[in-house]
Amino acid sequence: MLAQKYGIIKKVSKNHVNVRNIYTSEKFTIKHINKSRSSIRLIEDTITTYRDLDHRNIARLIEIDEDDSSYYLVKELCDGAPLSEALRYESLYDGVITNTEMFYSIMSDIIEGVNHMHKKNMTMGQVTTDNIIFSTKDCCYKFIDIAPNNKKSQKDDVLHVGIIAKSMYQACPELQNNKYLHDFVSGCSEQDPIKRMNPSQMYTSWKFITSVFHQN
């Protein structure tokens, strides 16, 4: 039982608690999934997906436990601030959103994580700034949760990547001088799915833009 192995540090949301391994002192987060409120097939698919993931920008699944009513997913703990909080704080002081190098770093973390899911023919399904948290251990942003079977398409992922990019792009005049970046943001955040970039176009375009940025 997890209770014999982990001690609760704090409750961080309705379904997540941060814990410490009482033997090693390592910190993790545990996600609680109520069996009666979720499709068992959906839960099992999500768990299978987690087990098959190994990527720098997605929080790792450590172990799983269950009882009659719930599943408990022990995952890597990202102990930094959510991207939503970082952007709100930094925007007050003309920080991260006016720092072009940080912009490219944040967006690369997001796009690499999403692309990893897409290469496995799945959706991320949780491309929101609240679900992207900084890991001080690995010095990067990570998706702390996934929803690979939530009936959304990969193009929906692209749209939400575009929305995040657009919010930072519009706040930074220096970024707006880059035509390639303008086309990328417009193509990803396009509301019409037919006109919107597909996942392959998003990733290829982003790799080209970052290569140009690093050459300058």
Q: For 153-212, what is each residue's pLDDT tens digit?
A: 999 999 999 999 998 888 778 888 889 999 999 999 999 999 999 999 999 999 999 998
Tokens coding 171: 């706040």
Q: Is the pLDDT of residue 61 over 60?
A: yes
Q: Could you tell me the residue ranges of all domains in the chain?
A: 2-76, 83-215
Tokens coding 53: 């993931």
The predicted model scores a pTM of 0.89
Q: DSSP per residue over 142-196, as a string?
A: EE----TTSS--HHHHHHHHHHHHHHHHHH-TTGGG-HHHHHHHHHHH-SSTTTS
Q: Residue 62: CB partners within 8 Å, gap ≥ 6?
A: 28, 74, 75, 76
Q: For 119-130, what is each residue's pLDDT tens digit?
A: 988 899 889 999
Using alpha carbons, list the distances in angstroms from residue 70 to 37, 86, 202. Answer: 10, 33, 37
- pLDDT at position 92 is 45
Q: Residue 172: CB partners within 8 Å, gap ≥ 6?
A: 97, 98, 100, 103
- Averaged pLDDT, 42-54: 81
- pLDDT at position 38 is 64
Q: Residue 201: CB partners within 8 Å, gap ≥ 6?
A: 187
Pick the CATH number of 83-215 from 3.40.50.970, 2.40.30.10, 1.10.510.10, 1.10.10.10: 1.10.510.10
Topology of domain 2-76, CATH? Phosphorylase Kinase; domain 1 (3.30.200)
